[in-house]
């Protein structure tokens, strides 16, 4: 159930405006090199959090 919830969250997250991307969504941010760098750091941080929480 946790994996299903995370899958849904990240599917929705792709279209959520994010402050660190200056209000752009991850889909929009991925269109630039700078945006991709920021997204990579965000996703690595999220993966670390998930691993620590034991949800992986």
Structural domain for 19, as ranges: 2-53
- Domain count for the chain, please give it: 1
DSSP state for residue 46 in the 8-state scheme? H
This prediction has a pTM of 0.76
* Choice between 6 and 45, residue whose per-residue pLDDT is larger: 45
Q: pLDDT digit string (tens) for 11-27? A: 999 999 999 999 999 99
Q: Taking Cα atoms as reference points, which of 11, 7, 40, 36 lies closest to residue 24?
A: 36
Q: pLDDT digit string (tens) for 16-55? A: 999 999 999 999 999 999 999 999 999 999 888 888 887 5
Predicted pLDDT at 52 = 84
Instruction: Output the six-digit token pair for 28.
Output: 């929009």
Predicted pLDDT at 47 = 87
């Amino acid at each position: 159930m946790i994996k299903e919830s995370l899958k849904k969250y990240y599917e929705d997250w792709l279209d959520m405006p994010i402050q660190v991307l200056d209000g752009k969504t991850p889909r929009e941010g991925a269109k630039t090199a700078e945006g991709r760098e920021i997204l990579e750091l965000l996703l690595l941080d999220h993966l670390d959090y998930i691993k620590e929480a034991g949800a992986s």
